[in-house]
Amino acid sequence: MVTKVVMPRLSLTMKEGTVGIWYKKEGDIVEKGEPIVEVLSEKATYDLEAPASGILRKILVEEGVDAPVNAVLAVITAPDELFSETEILAEVPQTVEEAEKRVLASPAAKRLAREYGIDLSLVKGSGPEGRIVEEDVRRFVEETRGILPKVKEIIPLSGFRKTSAERVSLSFKTAPHSTITMEVDVSKATELHEKLEVSYTAILVKAVAKALTEHPIINSMFEENQIKIFEDVNVGVAVATEYGLVVPVIQNADRKSLKEIDATIKELTEKARQGKLTREDLSGGTFTITNLGMYGVEFFTPIINPPEAAILGVGKIVEKPIVISGKIETKPFMTLSLSYDHRIVDGAPAAEFLRKIKEKIEETLGFEG
C-alpha cells in the first residue's frame, strides 16, 4: 500500500513548514513510528515519524525547502510495490514560492541577482520568451548604480525567521494594537529573587498567572467574531536564540509554585538555545511575556503573539528616587508595557489587569507557595 508522508499541522496558525534533515534516504527500509525527517515549524524542530513500515521510495521535498501543511513530503511503499509518481506529484500543493508568478531566468542571472539583492521581476529579459540572462542583470545593475547599494549578504526568510515574520505581520494585520505602561516597585521582588534564588522572569510569570485568573477576558483569543476565553492559563516566555526568537510555554502556570515555574523556565530556555524544543513546549500559549531589560531597554512596545489577546513587555530595573515620609530614598523600578487586542478588551479593563500585575509584584503575597 502506498503511504504518503505529509507536512503536519503543528499549531493553530501554521500554514507551512520547512524540511530540515532527512534521516533516511531513498531506498532505505523504515519502520512505523521511526523518525524519518526533521521539520522546522513555529520556531522549533520536530521529528516526523514514519506513518507506516516499508521502503522510503521517493523523497519529494528536499532539505531546506518550505512546504505547506498537508504537502506530500515523501512516499513509503512495500518493497516491490508499484506506484504512479505522476499521480502523487499532482496531489502535492504548491509552495508559496511556486504559487507566486514565476520569473524565467538563467542560473547565472539568478546567481548575479542574489549577489546584488535584485528582485528579478524588475528586470526586463532579452532572451527567448522574455527569459532573463546574465547580461540583462548586469545592464540593470549599471542603470541603477548609485541607486541600489551592493548587497554584502542575503539571509533567506525560511524556517524560524520566516515563521516569525509571518506571525508579526499577521498580528498587525488582524489585531488592532494598543499599549499602556506602568512603573512597578520591585523591592520585594528583589528580596524574593535573592532569598529563593529564582529569576525575575519566574516572579513575573507567577504575577501574570495570578492576574489572569482574576481577569479571564485577557486570557482569550478573537476568532470568527467571537471571544473565546481559555480555561487553562499557559504563559509563554520569549527567548532569544541563534535561531531567532522562540516562545516556549509554561503550561498551567497558575497551578505551579514559584520554584516549579523557575525550574520549568530554566529547562525550556536551555532546550530553546539547543534548538530542541518540542511541539508541546511551544503549543497552547494563552499569554506571552517578553523581556528586553537585559539589553538595557527601559521601555518598548511589544507585538501581540497571535492568536493571544495581549503581551507583556518588561524593561530593565532602574534605581529611582522617591519621597517617603518627607525623605528622598531610592528604590528599584521596572516599566511594564501591556499591548492588547482592542477588539477583545478596552483601555480601562486592560489598565485594571496591568495594575493587578503591579500589585502582585509589589506585594509578592503567596509567591513562596
Count Cβ atoms within 10 A of the Cβ of residue 98 and give its class: 0-12 exposed, 13-18 middle, 19 or more buried. exposed
pLDDT digits (tens, 9 = 90+) for 309-326: 999 999 999 999 998 888
Whether residue 33 lies inside any domain: the answer is yes
Q: Among 177, 185, 193, 342, which one carries the catalytic annotation?
A: 342
Whether residue 162 lies inside any domain: the answer is no
Judged by phi (left if over 0) then psi (alpha if -120 to 50, else beta), residue 112 lies in: alpha
Q: Do 193 and 83 belong to one domain?
A: no
- Give the number of domains in the chain: 3
Per the structure, the complete domain to which residue 110 belongs is given by 101-143
Whether residue 202 lies inside any domain: the answer is yes
Residue 96 has pLDDT above 60, yes or no: no
Q: Do 108 and 195 belong to one domain?
A: no
Which CATH number covers residue 279? 3.30.559.10
Q: Do 197 and 344 belong to one domain?
A: yes
Q: Do 285 and 256 belong to one domain?
A: yes
Can you give the pLDDT at residue 256? 95
Whether residue 208 lies inside any domain: the answer is yes
Whether residue 158 lies inside any domain: the answer is no
- Helix 134-143 / helix 107-116 crossing angle, nearest 10 deg: 30
Which CATH number covers residue 126? 4.10.320.10
Q: Do 355 and 295 belong to one domain?
A: yes
pLDDT digits (tens, 9 = 90+) for 194-224: 999 999 999 999 999 999 999 999 999 988 7
Q: Do 57 and 197 belong to one domain?
A: no
Whether residue 149 lies inside any domain: the answer is no
Q: Do 216 and 327 belong to one domain?
A: yes
Residue 151 has pLDDT above 90, yes or no: no
List phi, psi (to 5°) of 17.
-135, 175
Residue 75 has pLDDT above 90, yes or no: yes
pLDDT digits (tens, 9 = 90+) for 222-272: 887 889 999 999 999 999 887 678 899 999 999 999 999 999 999 999 998
CB atoms within 10 A of CB 182: 15
Q: Do 244 and 355 belong to one domain?
A: yes
End-to-end CA distance of the chain: 56
Whether residue 132 lies inside any domain: the answer is yes
Q: Do 308 and 227 belong to one domain?
A: yes
Q: Do 230 and 278 belong to one domain?
A: yes
Q: Cα separation of 342 and 349, whole Å?
A: 11
Residue 215 is a catalytic residue: no
pLDDT digits (tens, 9 = 90+) for 327-369: 999 999 999 999 999 999 999 999 999 999 999 999 987 787 5
Can you give the pLDDT at residue 109? 86
Q: Cα separation of 175 and 55, whole Å?
A: 47
Can you give the pLDDT at residue 102? 57
What is the arithmetic mean of pLDDT over 51-56?
A: 93
Q: Cα separation of 167 and 177, whole Å?
A: 14
Question: DSSP string covering 56-122, please?
Answer: EEEE-S-TT-EEETT-EEEEEE-TT----HHHHHHHSPPPHHHHSPP--B-HHHHHHHHHHT--GGG
Tell which of 59, 94, 129 closes a domain.
Answer: 94
Residue 346 is a catalytic residue: yes
Q: How confident is the model at residue 89 (pLDDT cuts 50, 70, 90)?
A: low
Q: Beta strand 327-341 with 249-250: parallel, antiparallel or unpaired?
A: unpaired
- Looking at every residue in the chain, the average pLDDT score rounds to 85
pTM of the model: 0.63
Residue 140 near residue 123, CB atoms below 8 Å: yes
Q: Do 190 and 86 belong to one domain?
A: no
Which CATH number covers residue 14? 2.40.50.100
Whether residue 191 lies inside any domain: the answer is yes
